[in-house]
Structure 1
């Protein structure tokens, strides 16, 4: 049985090599990690990229990410290494993670009913996801992420 989006996201994020790759795509290319995780999950389920309105999804996620998640992330990073701010940094990080989990639950509710197929299509979903966000990362990064998804499914 296929994981739900949250279960898949946790398993994939913990898979060796995935976290640094996703963070590089976020920090260097400006991609939304939650959308990338969703693309990987849809790809694992074999959902055709044409069945997903990536532009609408990215548009719905953008305000929450820009107005809540990114400012919390910036604050957490600013506090790193500042003497006496460990507790505050931990609280900010907890808020950032909760905001991301809430967004992932919202994504799941809009994507879970899409029909899948037997053939995974990670790379196609990742390309569609990136294109909708107006970004084209290095092909090698997307190929590597798709390969890590395949490894997870084996």
Structure 2
């Protein structure tokens, strides 16, 4: 139990159903973490860099990243994030429908912290998001913001 405060989670997801399920899963967690949501890769990078409308945002402690995004794909976001000296320590969990070997290998090559295939079933999806939350709140020591 190392986190004295709720963690800031950035969900990069364009599917409204998946956003709703993630919100539901995190709402019932042991710690009231804050969830910010952006719907594409361009917004994700603006959010991460605190640009424009996101200038006053809290720095994320964790990014949940879909790969299949409009405007800028998740792999591009991951590559930019991990190449940025100010952002590279933020843990990234790829949470996507793809189980393509190439996507898995490339994500880890780009220093994703975990790669999880989204379950199709609602209860399983909620369970997976809760486990991610529990792990990063209760087990992992996160770098200081």
Same fold (TM over 0.5): no
Greater strand proportion: 2
The TM-score, its normalising length taken from structure 2, stands at 0.27
Q: Is the radius of gyration larger for structure 1 or structure 2? A: 1
Greater helix proportion: 1
The TM-score, its normalising length taken from structure 1, stands at 0.26
Greater relative contact order structure (CA < 8 Å, 6+ sep): 1
